[in-house]
Structure 1
């Protein structure tokens, strides 16, 4: 199964203006990354921006889960059919 097809890029949106362009800079601490919206100049930490886009991220995650579940069921079904293809006593539909 090709796992690359489940990779996604989720564009983070500014909750104020909807812009997807941000400039990045180091925050006060090394672990805090500050992001400024290129359109409205609102400043966020990376964690705040991710939290603000949580619904969008969750929607993409739900799509991936659905696709993965369907592909696993199909793969399992093909494996069973292949394993029992020569059997007279077991049939898989």
Structure 2
């Protein structure tokens, strides 16, 4: 399948800045509990909180990609069926 990856910039729910630094010395086993500090206003926020605060933007990006994903999957499925000898329109 074609590369359908996309990056959604996450913004600070307090000031809207998109630059963060990770709080050092954290346990890397629990990615969801990692904390970040906004480069502009200094607010500390967990990864879960940051994701939740940006959920509308994330959902909109997923919706926008829907047709591209369906098209790519359809193309790949047709190729796979043709390789197996199926007649595909």
**Same fold by TM-score greater than 0.5:** yes
Root mean square deviation of aligned Cα: 2.7
Shift of 1:62: 1.1
What do residues 54-77 of structure 1 show as CA deviations (whole Å, max 9, x unaligned)?
011111111222211234456667
Matches within 5 A, 1:65-76: 65-73=66-74
Partner of 1:58: 59
Choose between structure 1 and 2 for higher RCO, CA contacts under 8 A separated by at least 6 residues: 2
Q: Structure 1 length as normaliser, TM-score?
A: 0.68
- Structure 1 residue runs of 5 or longer lacking an equivalent are 86-91
Q: Structure 2 length as normaliser, TM-score?
A: 0.70
Partner of 1:17: 15
DSSP-derived class of the 1:44 partner: strand
Return the index of the structure with the highest Cα Rg: 1
Q: 4+ residue runs of structure 1 moved beyond 2 angstroms?
A: 70-80
